[in-house]
Every structure is written in C-alpha cells, then in structure tokens.
C-alpha cells in the first residue's frame, strides 16, 4: 500500500482503483458502493420506486477552456453520472470552495455557465454551500456537485449485466477534453482547433433506452479514458471487452497531439461521451438513436463482449489494423493532472 497520497490516485487508472479498494472500500463500503457503477441506485419510500444518487468534485485547471469551463463541467459531469443508471436526473446540489481574492466576475461567469448547462439538461440546482479559504490555500475555485434522479420501474443497468455477444458503442470521438485542457495549460498550438466535449448526455441516454430497451449499461469514459472504462466493465461482467482500433472515432488533431506528446488517446479523458453496451440485435437501433442528437453525430459501434480465456482473467483488448490483438491497459499513474 502506498504511504502517501499522490496525483496518480486521482487519475481514474489503476492507482485510483487501488486507493478506492484499499482505503475507502475497506473502511465503509456497502453493497451499493461496491457495485462500481457511476451512481448508487437506492430504494425510495414508495413501492417500486428507486433513486439514483451521485456526487463529483471538480478541480480542473485552467477554469476556462475552449468548449466550456469548470461550471459547465460540474453540471454535465454529475448529470451524466446519474443518467448512466437509467435515471432521469432531476436535482443538483452545488458546493463551492473559493480562494480569497478570486475575481467576482469569473465567479459570475461560472455560475451563468452552470445555469445554462442545467437548463439544457432539464435539471434544477436546488441547494448548495460556500466556503472560502485563505489566499494561497486553494486554486481559485473548486466545485462539488451531487445529483439525484428517479429510476423508472423495471430499469436495471450496470456493468455486471454485459453478456458475451453484446456490442460496445461510443457516442463520439475520444480524447477531446483531455487534449484541450493540456493545450490550454501548456500553451500548445495544433494545426486544427480542439475543444472540450463537455455536454449533458441524459437526453441521448433516454433516446438509446427507448430504441434499445434491453441496453445493458452506460458509462462515461472520463478520467483514464476509454481504456479504463473498458477494463472496469470487463472486471464487472467477467468477460473480455474487445474493440477494433479502426472503428474508434478520434479527431485527427487529437490523435496528432497524442502522437506528439506520447499519450495513448484511449487513456485520455472525455467529458461529453458515453460508452454503451447493448445486445447485438439492438446495436443498430442504439447507434441511430445516438446519432439523432447533437452530441452523438460521431457515434460508432466499436467492438463486442467476448468470453474470457480460461487461463487468465477478463481483459480489455484492442484489435490493431494489421490484424494483431493487444491488451488495452488501464492508465497507470497520472498522465494528465487536473482535467476535471
């Protein structure tokens, strides 16, 4: 066990999994937490009713970037986590930790962005909290949002429901958010503009659930990217997640930036994309449902769930253009700090 907390413990990769398993789970995890999904689904007082509940904290630097800001990120991130359970997100809380001296104009700009994102998602910000720390003891602004939604009767989604033969979909191009943050932070210039994909995806999820009623699960590939998400799903269902490299949508500018910086684009964070697993006979319907909205134009079917080999545990695998297959590893350590 590590002796101190390191940046890698917040990466979304194997170090983050280790601190979750060995510290948080060991101290207080119950069945809901151990399920490993993005939102807990909890019983409600009425018969058959269930509530989805999730929380997330946002510490991104810089606070403003092409395609969004920390406020839009905070609303969209929590809306998406709640929606992955199949719930209809309804209410958000918002907690601010502000540093003394932070410009009031920037705070107003962030709050306006949050209001716009909440309106787009159809949710309400209903409660909150504000703390201020001494100058030099924070980084301007940190935000925590928690979300509550209602799960329709008969809906039960999760990574453990994936079955051999199912198809794996993504709602759009990979790596946009992480590369945007890096380009802003390091003042990098690329031949083509890149911008964050931060977006609320609850409406996209609702369309997919209507078109593909036997959908198994949704997961947003944020920290650790698509690679970490596929590894988490493989561990949950005990099967291999096998994807085709040529079928995974990536913008040329993002791929070029990753090649230049030495990053694996499938380990780079996304903030407005969704991974979806559906039965094979509903994959085309799910794909068309994704493409029917603004945030799913580049959606693609990228692979399938396969039986794991008996001589090893379940893995995430990628088939390369030359016909080989390699293990798609989770991110180890911290590749891109402070991306959300």
For residue range 153-200, list pLDDT tens digits in order: 899 999 999 999 999 999 999 999 999 998 888 776 665 678 999 999
pLDDT of residue 44 exceeding 90, the answer is no
Q: Considering the domain boundaries, does residue 69 fall inside one?
A: yes
Indicate if 124 and 172 belong to the same structural domain.
no
CATH code, domain carrying 257: 3.90.650.10
Residue 256 is assigned to a structural domain of this protein: yes
Residues 272 and 315 in one domain: yes
Among the candidates 151, 179, 200, a domain finishes at: 151
Same domain flag for 90 and 164: no
Residue 24 lies inside a defined structural domain of this protein:
no
User: Average pLDDT for residues 21-49, to the nearest whole number?
Assistant: 83
Cα(199)–Cα(75) distance, rounded to whole angstroms?
Answer: 9
**Judgement on whether residues 57 and 179 belong to the same structural domain of the protein:** no
The answer to whether residue 14 sits within a structural domain is no
Cα–Cα distances in Å, from 232 out to 16, 17, 127? 12, 10, 32
pLDDT at 25: 83
Residues 166 and 282 in one domain: yes
For position 70, which CATH number holds? 3.30.1330.10
Same domain assignment for residues 187 and 294:
yes
| pLDDT of 332 higher than 90 | no
Residues 101-147 have pLDDT tens digits of 999 999 999 999 999 999 999 999 999 999 999 999 999 999 999 99
Out of 119, 151, 183, a domain closes at 151
Domain shared by 43 and 168, yes or no: no
Q: In what order do the strands lie in the sheet with 240-244?
A: 217-219, 275-278, 167-170, 300-306, 240-244, 316-319, 325-327
**Does position 313 have pLDDT exceeding 80, yes or no?**
yes
In this structure, what token pair is assigned to residue 161? 């429901």
Give residue 310's domain range.
159-327
Same-domain status, 251 and 285: yes
Could you tell me if 105 and 184 lie in one domain?
Answer: no
HSE of 33 in the Cβ direction (CA atoms, 13 Å)? Answer: 11
Taking the C-alpha atoms of residue 332 and residue 188, their distance in angstroms, rounded to an integer, is 24
User: Looking at the structure, do residues 61 and 177 belong to the same domain, yes or no?
Assistant: no
Instruction: Please check whether residue 21 lies inside any domain of the structure.
Output: no
With respect to residue 186, please indicate whether it lies within any of the assigned structural domains.
yes
- The reply to whether 225 falls in a domain is yes
Last residue of a domain, one of 151, 185, 201: 151
Nearest to 157 by CA among 332, 49, 36, 10: 36
Q: Are residues 71 and 107 in the same domain?
A: yes
Look at residue 192 and tell me if it is in a domain. yes
Are 197 and 335 spatial neighbours (Cβ–Cβ below 8 Å)?
Answer: no
Tally the domains of the chain.
2
Do 249 and 295 belong to one domain? yes
């Amino acid at each position: 066990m590590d002796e101190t907390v390191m940046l890698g413990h917040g990466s979304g990769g194997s170090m983050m999994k280790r601190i979750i398993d060995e510290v948080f789970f060991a101290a207080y995890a119950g069945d809901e937490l151990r399920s490993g999904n993005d939102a807990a689904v909890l019983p409600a007082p009425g018969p058959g009713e269930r509530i989805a509940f999730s929380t997330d904290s946002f510490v991104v630097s810089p606070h403003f970037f092409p395609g969004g800001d920390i406020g839009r990120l905070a609303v969209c991130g929590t809306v998406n986590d709640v929606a992955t359970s199949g719930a209809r997100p309804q209410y958000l809380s918002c907690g601010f930790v502000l540093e003394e001296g932070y410009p009031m104009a920037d705070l107003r700009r962030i709050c306006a962005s949050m209001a716009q994102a909440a309106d787009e998602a159809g949710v309400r910000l209903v409660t909150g909290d504000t703390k201020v720390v001494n100058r030099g003891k924070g980084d301007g602004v940190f935000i925590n949002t928690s979300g509550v939604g209602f799960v329709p009767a008969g809906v039960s989604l999760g990574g453990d429901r994936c079955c051999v033969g199912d198809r794996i979909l993504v709602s759009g191009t990979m790596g946009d958010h992480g590369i945007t943050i890096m380009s802003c932070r390091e003042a990098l210039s690329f031949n083509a503009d890149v911008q964050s994909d931060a977006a609320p995806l609850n409406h996209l999820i609702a369309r997919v659930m209507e078109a593909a009623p036997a959908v198994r699960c949704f997961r947003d590939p944020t920290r650790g990217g698509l690679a970490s998400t596929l590894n988490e799903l493989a561990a949950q269902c005990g099967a291999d997640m096998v994807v085709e490299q040529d079928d995974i949508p990536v913008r040329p500018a993002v791929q070029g930036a990753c090649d230049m910086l030495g990053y694996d684009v499938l380990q780079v964070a996304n903030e407005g994309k969704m991974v979806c697993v559906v039965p094979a006979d509903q994959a085309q319907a799910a794909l068309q449902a994704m493409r029917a909205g603004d945030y799913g134009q580049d959606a693609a079917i990228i692979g399938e769930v396969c039986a794991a080999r008996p001589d090893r545990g379940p893995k995430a695998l990628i088939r390369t253009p030359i016909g080989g297959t390699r293990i798609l590893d989770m991110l180890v350590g911290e590749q891109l700090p402070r991306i959300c």
